């Protein structure tokens, strides 16, 4: 199992979607919120994702399909 740290950037309605919950429920990844900031129109969260690379990749593809910006910060 590997850890990937990402920054997810939310805009508009995506701020109200339970994305982190979905990642833990629908993909074989464990999430850990490191930092976050949410404003009126935008928000971001730095998130650790622990899991197999293929599952992490699938989870991040899901985020992108929902219009969420994905930036990989580090790999362990």
The count of other CB atoms within 10 Å of the CB of residue 24 is: 14
Q: Which residue's structure tokens are 């990844």? A: 29
Domains of the chain: 2-75 (3.30.70.260)
pLDDT category at 2 given cuts 50, 70, 90 is: confident
The pTM assigned to this predicted structure is 0.86
Q: Which of 66, 71, 69 is nearest to 4 (CA)?
A: 71
Q: How confident is the model over 18-56, as pLDDT tens digits?
A: 899 999 999 999 999 999 998 888 899 999 999 999 999
* Residue 2 token pair: 């590997």
Give yes or no for residue 59 having a pLDDT over 90.
yes
């Amino acid at each position: 199992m590997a850890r990937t740290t990402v920054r997810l950037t939310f805009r508009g309605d995506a701020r109200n979607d339970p994305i982190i919950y979905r990642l833990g429920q629908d993909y074989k990844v464990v999430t850990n919120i490191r930092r976050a900031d949410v404003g009126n129109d935008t928000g971001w969260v730095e998130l650790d994702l622990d899991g197999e690379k293929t599952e992490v990749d699938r989870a991040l593809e899901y985020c992108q399909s929902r219009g969420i910006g994905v930036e990989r910060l580090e790999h362990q």
